[in-house]
Amino acid sequence: MAQRTALYENMMAGISDGVAILSDQGQIVAHNQRLAPFLRIDPARLAGRPRLAEVIAEAGWQAGEAPGCLSLPSGPQAELRESPLPGGGAVVLVSDATERRQMEDRLRQIQRIEALGKVSGEVAHDFDNILSTISGCLHLMDSAPPDRQAPLRQTIASAVDLGTPLTGRLLAFARRQHLEPDSVDLPTLVDGIADLVGFALRDEVELVIDCCPGQLPVLVDPGQLESAILNLCLNAGQAIEGAGRITLSVRRERDLARIEVADTGTGMTPEVLAHAMEPFFTARADGTGTGLGLAMVYGFIRQSGGDIDIVSTPAKGTIVRLVLPLQQAKASMLPRLGTVLLVEDDPSDRNTSLALLAPATDRLLVAEDRTSALRHLAEPVGLIVTDLTLHGQIEGWRLADAALTRWPDARAIVVSGHLPNVQPLSARFPGRIATLAKPLTQDLLSRTMVELFKSRIENATIARHGL
């Protein structure tokens, strides 16, 4: 018995993570010495068999984007891994993820810097042409007769018009520091960076954009995805000697979205292809390659739940395929909303909204005008969905204001066929109000409600897993 106890204690002490052994009620019945430091708590707090979920909540940890991920407002991050025990209860490992996440962030920044560096080098040629045009016209204007002045000024203006969107797009790309997953429509994102990719490629290289019709929503970091696509297109351009073509396409494959970058370049031998995604591997003999581009694209796509595949034939070209899971905003993701008030004066829109809201609602109230809506707001509501304009009058803001002011836990969605540019209530009720354009869809409404009730969903997830 003494030997077993000593072996158990040595094993617990030798584990580099924090360890908690939980009862079937979630109580900490045993733990190692590393648990308290990892959770940033006083070791005395672990005495008396407290529930792990309560310890985590009291320490200020909040649920992260991914299951089992926790973070503190001050910056530290942790990961929890739970394994059930045969007789009930569980073993929970707590690891400090702060340094790893910081390293991932630094690698993402390296990728963006590398992409921006590639773009800057490629577009320098375009700027040289623009500046040469302007300089030449200014020189000619010194000696040109009056009837030649206007065409020269027009040529200068055209050159400036060519440079302005290019600089604006470069600055937008360089400044974007968004490092969190978001719902992204792939065709829209690809169309948005097409001009930047086109500017970055040599004039002899044709860029073909081929996006399927309709939306392809994926949950991914938009800045990183832009960097990945840009890197792939620039790599493809550098693989083309002389004239050639790059085809950037977006397609749907069942429940997946596929991004494909195909070039008519030199291709890769099987030996080079086998190492193409290894960090620091580069086939460029001129020393311009860092070997990080494809490796970072691979890491990003894998972290986003997707995959990457490369097909290459020497002297014919290369095809790089990125596959990402389509985002499905399922009703099961939504919290139970309790009482929901729908305010809509159009019968057709009202019936559509009723069908969309019903799956996540315990009780659904309906009003067709401001007076009846205010009457319903005398009792608690979890959500109000209101048209901005009711019977020709803009009433939606006032109704949302009334609901959010009276019921602190309520959320509001204001819908309209013509949404204004300014949302007057967002500053007073941050995170509690959203606007949606008609027509409503299940996916759009579900994703909006998930965002509005994000904290409630996270708390329910923590409670469900006993964390």
pLDDT, tens only, 226-270: 878 988 998 899 899 999 999 999 999 888 999 999 999 999 988
Question: For residue 101, which of 280, 293, 303 has the smallest C-alpha distance?
Answer: 303
| In the chain, % of residues over pLDDT 70 | 77
**111 in the same domain as 35:** no
User: Do 86 and 144 belong together in one domain?
Assistant: no
Question: What was the pLDDT predicted at 118?
Answer: 60
Supply the CATH number for residue 168's domain: 3.30.565.10
Task: Select from 325, 359, 387 the last residue of a domain.
Answer: 325
pLDDT on residue 177:
41
pLDDT at 462: 43
Residues 237 and 297 in one domain: yes
**What is the mean predicted confidence (pLDDT) over 4-11?**
60
- φ and ψ at residue 419, rounded to 5 degrees: -75, 140
pLDDT, one tens digit per residue, over 40-92 is 888 888 888 888 888 888 888 877 656 677 877 777 888 888 888 877 788 88
Q: What percent of the chain has pLDDT over 90?
A: 23
DSSP 61-106: -EE-SSTTEEE-TTS-EEEEEEEE-TTS-EEEEEEE-HHHHHHHHH
Residues 384-409, mean pLDDT to the nearest whole number? 93
Is 313 in the same domain as 424? Answer: no
Domain harbouring 444, CATH code = 3.40.50.2300
The reported pLDDT for the residue numbered 122 is 54
Highest mean pLDDT among 5-9, 128-132, 204-208: 204-208
Retrieve residue 393's tokens. Answer: 């009058």
Look at 76 and 13; give whichever has higher pLDDT: 76
Q: What is the pLDDT of residues 347-392, one digit of tens each?
A: 877 877 887 787 778 889 999 999 999 999 999 999 999 999 998 8
pLDDT at 1: 57
Give the model's pLDDT for residue 465: 42
Q: Is residue 467 part of a domain?
A: no
Q: How far apart are CA 192 and CA 211, in angstroms?
A: 12
The pLDDT value recorded for residue 179 is 46
Residue 139 per-residue DSSP state: H
- 110 or 285, which is more confident: 110
Model confidence at 308: pLDDT above 60: yes
pLDDT at 385: 96
Decide which of 74, 96, 118 is a domain's last residue: 96
**The pLDDT of residue 293 is above 80:** no
Statement to judge: residues 123 and 227 lie in one domain: yes
In a domain? residue 266: yes
Write the CB contacts of 362 (distance below 8 Å, at least 6 apart in sequence): 336, 337, 338, 339
Domain that holds residue 70: 2-96
- The pairing of beta strand 90-96 with beta strand 77-84: antiparallel
**Domain assignment of residue 465, yes or no:** no
In a shared domain, residues 58 and 119: no
How many domains is the chain built from?
3
Confidence (pLDDT) at 255: 82
pLDDT on residue 155? 79
Amino acid letter, residue 293: G
Domain shared by 152 and 291, yes or no:
yes
Looking up residue 77, the CATH number of its domain turns out to be 3.30.450.20
Based on the domain organization, do 304 and 213 belong to the same domain? Answer: yes
Same domain, 219 and 358: no
Question: 37 and 107 share a domain?
Answer: no
pLDDT in tens, 162-191: 666 556 555 545 544 444 677 788 998 898
Do both 207 and 109 map to the same domain?
Answer: yes
Question: Does residue 182 belong to any structural domain of this protein?
Answer: yes
Q: How far apart are CA 357 and CA 362, in angstroms?
A: 10
Please report the pLDDT score of residue 271 as a whole number.
Answer: 85
Position 460 scores a pLDDT of 47
Per-residue pLDDT averaged across 411-430, rounded? Answer: 85
In this structure, the answer to whether residues 362 and 412 fall within a common structural domain is yes
pLDDT of residue 433: 93
CB contact at 8 A, 108 and 178: no
Angle (deg, nearest 10), helices 442-452 and 347-357: 60
Measured distance CA(20)–CA(55) in Å, rounded:
12
